[in-house]
Amino acid sequence: MGRRRKGRDISGWLVVDKPAGITSTSVVNKVRWAFDAKKAGHAGTLDPEATGVLAVALGEATKTVPYITDAMKAYSFVVRLGQATNTDDAEGEVIAESDARPSDDEIRAALGQFTGDIMQVPPQFSAVKIDGERAYKRARDGEEMELAARPLFVEELNLVARPDADHVELEMVCGKGGYVRSIARDLGAALGCNGHVVSLRRVWSGPFEAEDGVSLALLDELAKSEELDQYLRPLEEGLADLPELRATAEGAAKLKNGNPGMVLTSDAEYGDEAWASYDGRAVAVGTYRAGELHPSRVFNQ
């Protein structure tokens, strides 16, 4: 029989404004420690040198992680033109250089081919699994791999600033699974000048914004205190992209037991994924059919 993890039964979301130089997993571990929480997880990994929104779920909110992972996200990043690296960011070794420097108009014209539904090859140094092993582990051993292209929806990709001939600042809004480093690499290739990311910030992720994020310094300062709990956001915010159904008292009781429960009318259509609430709190997520929600996840709160 496994040991039960000690800690508080606390549920909700904490938005962290992640600094550079720390892994996403390390941030999650720090949040779990600060809240003395039994369970924690995050929605969408950020590279160690990237900054911005890292949404950390505690307790029952971990059941809503997939909905934030799948949500649209916005990034602000700077591309260094004229150099390609083996990691597609500034942490790697320069593997190609070019003296070519495209104009602003040429850059804007090239951005069009990276919007809409595109296919994107992940970086060699990425967490993609190859025969059960992470690509970055093989890349560290000097192995070059042919990674399969993956679909990505890019809603917007805009030129924001051109600080100098060597650098361009871009903003991107995209769906799940996008690699900003791949955008920089492929844009540099399309422009014939090479390119890699030198700075990256996730501005928002679904309903969560970096400007509302908690710093690690504040997390350390308020760790294990009641004051820190005030920064915890409701579990329900992780369901913002799904229709809300209001359950009847009887329906809520059935849903809590994992059975279909009656819900009041809403904007949801037959077959839609939705969530049911009772007294303002999430009871379950599931499929809406003919006045009932058929639960796939039940919340114990």
Measuring CA to CA, how many Å separate 215 from each of 76, 178, 200, 221? 19, 25, 17, 10
Chain center to CA of 116: 19
The verdict on whether 131 is a catalytic residue reads no
Which of 234, 237, 202, 210 is closest to 15 using CA atoms?
A: 210
DSSP E strands: which ranges in the chain?
A: 12-18, 40-42, 51-58, 73-81, 83-85, 94-97, 116-120, 129-130, 133-134, 150-164, 167-174, 195-205, 208-209, 244-246, 261-262, 273-278, 281-289, 292-298
Q: Which of 9, 17, 36, 47 is catalytic?
A: 47
Alpha carbon distance 77, 104 (integer Å)? 16
Paired tokens of 15: 């938005």
Paired tokens of 28: 């999650």
Question: How big is the chain by its Cα radius of gyration, in Å?
Answer: 22
Active-site positions read: 47
